[in-house]
Every structure is written in C-alpha cells, then in structure tokens.
Amino acid sequence: MAFHKINVTINGELEQVVVPSNMTLMAMLRESLAMTGTKNGCSAGECGACTVLLNGEPVNSCMVLAVECDGANIVTVEGLAGEKQLSPIQEAIIHEGGVQCGFCTPGILISSHALLKRNPNPSENEIREALVGNLCRCTGYVRIIEAVKEAAKMQSAATS
C-alpha cells in the first residue's frame, strides 16, 4: 500500500499528515488527528453525520479520500466555536432543544453553518433543502429548523 504526505489546513491550523491511499478524510480526522467530533454514521455517504466543510463546501467526509485533500482547507465541528464562545448555530441548537442523542449534531451544525454563510436569511424550505443529507432519528427536525432560523436572527443582529 502506498502512503502519501499531505498538507491540509484544519480549523485554521496547518497539518502535515501521512496517509495511506485508501484512507478517507473522516478516518484521517478521527484516527490520525483525534478530531472525534466528526461522526462515523454509515460510511456510505447516506447519513451526513461526518459532514465537514472542504474548501467552504459541505461534504460527507466518509466519501472523500484524504489524499484528495492535499492543500485543502477543512472546517470540522470543532472549528465552529471561537475560543470563548459558541457559534450562533451552536448556541441556537442548544437553546431550541435541537439535540437529543447528538450523533447527527456535528453534521447538522456544519450543514447549517454552510447554509447561513451563503444565505444569511433562509426560508424554511431552504433550510429543509440544506439539511436533506443529514439524517436525524430523534428530533423530527422541527427544533433543528427553528434553531437555524434563530441562528440567522442572531447573526443578523450581530452584524447590525
């Protein structure tokens, strides 16, 4: 098996990692870098628990090979919060009770964050569409959708 040395920026920090050719981005994050916020739900790109931002776009990290990320910028759920403060979507999902078992939460937070970056005032249909790849078996999505709406209001108030 071939190994590759890659350089990748994760949550603002440059990392140099040696990975085998067949290692996924999810495995690299969890196993090589101990960033366990990214969850392994299905390993088939179906559930969204492993969603991260790859060069600003949400991707299922179980479907991306680590070697494809050489030179890339990645944001994981660990990178959403500041040093002393949660991001608006993190605060809102707690406030609205959008977390139950929590397994899907990292992917939902990343997908919601990406939506709010590209559309600071999404409609409910746009929120639902942005979350279509994130499966949650506990909440029924109502509180998650309300959390995204609240986060949008929080961000709007912060920029006013």
Look at strands 73-75 and 3-10 and give their pairing.
Answer: parallel
List, for residues 62-92, the tens digit of each pLDDT value.
999 999 999 999 999 999 998 889 999 999 9
Question: Mind listing the pLDDT tens digit for each residue in 100-114?
Answer: 999 999 999 999 999
Residues 104 and 130 in one domain: yes
CATH code of 95's domain: 1.10.150.120
State how far the Cα of 136 lies from the Cα of 154, in Å rounded to an integer. Answer: 24
Residues 70 and 94 in one domain: no
Give which of 71, 66, 64, 53 is closest to 130, Cα–Cα: 53
- Nearest one of 118, 116, 117 to 147, comparing CA atoms: 116
Which residue range is the domain that position 65 belongs to?
Answer: 3-79
Q: What count of other Cβ atoms lies within 10 Å of the Cβ of residue 15?
A: 16
pLDDT digits (tens, 9 = 90+) for 36-63: 999 999 999 999 999 999 999 999 999 9
Q: Which residues contact 44 (CB under 8 A, 6 or more apart)?
A: 62, 63
Report the CATH number that the domain containing residue 49 is assigned in CATH: 3.10.20.30
Domain final residue pick, 45, 79, 113: 79
List phi, psi (to 5°) of 24: -80, 160
* pLDDT score, position 15: 98
Confidence at residue 77, expressed as pLDDT on a 0 to 100 scale: 97
pLDDT score of 160 more than 80: no
Same-domain status, 55 and 99: no
Q: What is the pTM of this model?
A: 0.95
- Asked whether residue 72 falls in the same domain as residue 92, the answer is no
Q: In angstroms, what CA-CA distances link 146 with 93, 103, 108, 119?
A: 8, 19, 13, 16
Q: Is the pLDDT of residue 159 over 90?
A: no
Would you state the structure tokens that stand for residue 10, as one six-digit string? 């994760």
Q: Across all residues in the chain, what is the average pLDDT?
A: 96
Q: Examine the domain organization and report whether 133 and 150 are in the same domain.
A: yes
Q: State the number of CA atoms in the 13 A half-sphere of 45 facing the CB.
A: 8
Given this model, what pLDDT does residue 139 score? 84
pLDDT over 90 at 156, yes or no: no
Please state which of the ranges 83-87, 120-124, 126-130, 146-150 shows the lowest mean pLDDT: 83-87
Q: Are residues 75 and 7 in the same domain?
A: yes
Tell which of 16, 50, 79 closes a domain: 79
Q: Is the same domain home to 92 and 75?
A: no
How many domains is the chain partitioned into structurally?
2
Residues 74 and 138 grouped into a single domain: no
